[in-house]
Amino acid sequence: MLQNKSINDWMKEVRNNSFNHMKNIAEKLLNPSNFHLSREAKKRLVWLYILYYKQDGNISKTARKIGISRQWLSHLKSMFEFHNKDPRSLELKSKNPNHSLNRKRISKETEELILKIRKDSLNTWGKMKISKHLKNEYGIIVNHNTVNKYLHKHKKIDPKISLKNTKAFKERIQRELLEDVVLKVKFRPPSRIKDYAPGALTEKDMKYVLKMGTSGTSKKDFWYQHGIIDSFTRIKVTGLTEGMSSKEALEEYEKIKERLPFSIASMNTDNGGENEKDFSERLQKDEVFHFYSNSGTPTHNPRIERSFLTDDLEFYQKGGLCRDFEEQKKKIIERDDFYNWKRPHQALGYLTPMKFYHLWKENPKEAFRITNKWQEELRKQRVRQARSRKMKKEEQINALMNFIDAKLNKNKGLKKAKLQLINCQLCSVA
């Protein structure tokens, strides 16, 4: 059920990306002056974009496609063209009454009291706190939205465009008009595809390789190892660059994918700059679905991270580091051959990645049996670790409670309770 939910969230994100992509194109073509529009106006602009550019001006076909009445779409089109295709004409008309002189208003004293409370709080209290304070201290009931209105009226609130919208506007990417679906989402891939088939999900990451004889205090002291690992078969291919730009990551990706025995359907990366711009655009061109793991969460890209740790322990710390860049590149390729053809993996039933890949081609049921057995072992291991952490946490909480009781009651057992808190790691497990 959780897997189905992940797939549904994934497909929902794909549809949202497609709509947002179409919205960007619509604004580029029909709102060239970049007027600030509401969400409803932007939606109507997309309708007109579909009408003009997708359905050749056919109102009936467009209305059926987007699910609105023909009369309503015809009215929007007429209104848009009557105002010389000004996108601001698509805004919702105000529903405020034309005459509001008879509306019940708060007294002048209450208005001044709102401003006084705001000033006394050093302009930090919002509408909810001021509304509750009026009721608790003065017995005056004023809706929080009314408070907000008067704060705006007296310019006590600085309205700003949200950072999210500002960033989205600045980072709008120019895409080709023929692209309908953006194969890119900002969350980790669903677990169902991790062990689905070779190439269904690959993980990519970049590793810093410290040059021999350097201190590691500047970028020039490092080479950059780009690695892609198949989540199912654990086949890994790596390359080395002297820089960490997306252009260099793209050049290495072109070489790496030629060394894989299967095509790539989706890829999971972190949010590093090397995975944006040129690299991301190339994935879209290759129709590779691009997942981004959460920021600062290496556990969302576990298999490539674990393989890099193996590289450190079994390769770089065992004499695999060279002084010359070209020599290091050749040695990394030799390391990949050893990793894929000779090194057994516990997760693959102690088969090598290439043997497991050939087993999957000849006998898929046996390959899936090995994978499921390993996943069950991991599940049992997680349960054992969780129980161990829970027991440790309970012991530490009991020790802390004994110390608190001794301190508050001034018992003689304070020294003993204090000794029990030595090496207490309660904060780290809470």
Task: Give CA–CA dist 331/386, Å, rounded.
Answer: 41
Specify whether the CB–CB gap between 66 and 50 falls below 8 A.
Answer: yes
Tokens of 211: 């040059």
Contact residues for 179 (Cβ-Cβ < 8 A; gap 6+): 21, 284
The per-residue pLDDT of the chain, averaged, comes to 83
Residue with the larger pLDDT of the pair 214 and 413: 214
pLDDT beyond 80 at 160: no
pLDDT beyond 50 at 427: no
pLDDT for the residue 425:
54
Would you tell me how many other CB atoms lie within 10 Å of the CB of residue 335? 18
Task: Give CA–CA dist 18/12, Å, rounded.
Answer: 10
pLDDT for the residue 423:
58
pLDDT beyond 70 at 420: yes
Per-residue model confidence as pLDDT tens digits over 76-88: 999 999 988 898 8
Would you place residue 281 in the very low, low, confident or very high pLDDT band (cuts 50, 70, 90)? confident
Pairing type for strands 202-210 and 266-269 reads parallel
pLDDT for the residue 176:
41
Per-residue model confidence as pLDDT tens digits over 20-50: 777 788 888 888 888 888 888 888 898 898 8
Would you place residue 355 in the very low, low, confident or very high pLDDT band (cuts 50, 70, 90)? very high
Tokens of 249: 């990551």
Comparing C-alpha atoms, which of 25, 54, 51, 23 is closest to residue 39? Answer: 23
Tokens of 417: 């309770």
Task: Give CA–CA dist 319/341, Å, rounded.
Answer: 20
pLDDT beyond 50 at 216: yes
Tokens of 411: 């018992």
